[in-house]
Amino acid sequence: MSRNIFFVSFLLSALTLCAQTVAPQGTVIKPTDPNIQYIGRIEDSNSERPVFTFPGVQIRTGFTGTSLQMMAKPYSGYFMAQIDEGEAFKVSFFNTSDSIVTLATALPQGIHQAKVMYVGEGYERLPEFRGFIVDQGQALAPAPALPDRRIEFIGNSITCGYGVEATDANAPYLEATANHYHTYAAITARRLDAQHLVVARSGIGVYRNYNGLRTGDAVNMNTEYPHTLLYNKEYLWDFSRYTPQVVCINLGTNDTSTTGADPKLLLKGYQDLYRQVRSHYPDAKIVFLCGCMMRGETDLPTAQKAMDTVVAKAHQQGDSEVYRFDFTPQTGDLGYGASWHPSIRQHQKMADELTPYLRELMQW
């Protein structure tokens, strides 16, 4: 599990858009506009150039007029966009100068809604959102109120959407085929009408990363969880900015990879992460998920036993709001993404399993 201008009419389609660099024409809206909503870990000490690294970061707004353009730092990567109730489509920022992408044009006059989600892993690119452009004389409008339901997903490449758009299991990791929007996490959140925040990185584990030393890696999810930006210790995340009612932890696949996990160290890694999460969210339900890529007579039981032990000890210590959930292991009947990762159809199956579980657990 190593890491790895499209014209929008009133009826939107899902083709990939390429960034264009042109002089802004219209009214430029800065990221500080109060009508812009943000979801996710965003470093905004420079409020006119908010930066982020984790997938699933969302930017939402309303706007008036007939068109909408988005501005981002060059080479920021891929986003999924949706206008009104149209189909979501992919856009990219890969130019050598400030990039502007057209999200909508030739819309009927009126008030429209836009949702944009960052769908890659941005710790190397450090993507920045730099605002919107609307028709001359037009402005942003309030977006619909955010859902009251809030989920946090902590995970690895499965949660990131590694290779989800690929159709060959032997295909290598490519940014172009990674897409968090199509993951079980994003699908489940949409089905439950919930916000979701993501802390995930391909190849990461609770104590040992993919193909790492069996004794563990100095940098893992436990060391990175406190930070706003992955691999950046300068900015600690303010946990009061987003308080989930449920936290889903989908880790362990990398810990048990290659040479396998040390059971004691794996258990400690899970316990340490549980304590971190609980210290920040004393009232949230915490669900340990067993990912669909774990299988066999060693990896799967080792991870399951460690998670079961964490849950049992939490219950013994009076914390009854810790739970376990196992995804059905993938068999290939739904195809594979790149590097034997879950396909889009496999992610949909995972969402088919997790959605009713969370609906019942949360009474949503």
Tens digits of residue pLDDT in 123-174: 999 999 999 999 999 999 999 999 999 999 999 999 999 999 999 999 999 9
Query: Are 267 and 155 part of one and the same domain?
Result: yes
State the CATH number of the domain containing residue 74: 2.60.120.260
Q: Which domain holds residue 216?
A: 150-362
Taken in order 154, 43, 116, 191, is the CA torsion positive or negative?
positive
Same domain for 308 and 173, yes or no, is yes
* Number of domains the chain contains: 2
Domain presence at residue 65: yes
Number of residues that this document lists for the chain? 364
Domain end position, chosen among 100, 119, 141: 141
245 vs 284: CA distance, rounded Å:
5
Domain co-membership, 136 together with 206: no
Do the strands 77-83 and 89-93 form a parallel or antiparallel pair, or are they unpaired?
antiparallel
* β-bridge pairing 232-236 and 227-229: antiparallel
Q: Does residue 64 sit within a domain?
A: yes
- 172 in the same domain as 319: yes
Residue 6 within any structural domain of the chain: no
What is the pLDDT at residue 17?
45
Are 180 and 283 contained in the same domain? yes
Q: Are residues 156 and 190 in the same domain?
A: yes
Q: Are residues 204 and 341 in the same domain?
A: yes
Residue 254 located in a structural domain: yes
Let me know if residue 21 belongs to a domain: no
pTM of the model: 0.93
pLDDT exceeds 90 at position 19: no
Inform me whether the pLDDT recorded for 1 exceeds 80. Answer: no
Q: What percent of the chain has pLDDT over 90?
A: 90
What tens digit of pLDDT does each residue of 191-243 get?
999 999 999 999 999 999 999 999 999 999 999 999 999 999 999 999 999 99
The answer for residues whose C-beta is within 8 angstroms of residue 248's C-beta and 6 or more apart is 151, 152, 153, 154, 155, 185, 287, 289, 354, 358
Answer yes or no: do 155 and 177 share one domain. Answer: yes
The residue among 141, 158, 178 that closes a domain is 141
Task: State which of 94, 116, 141 marks the end of a domain.
Answer: 141
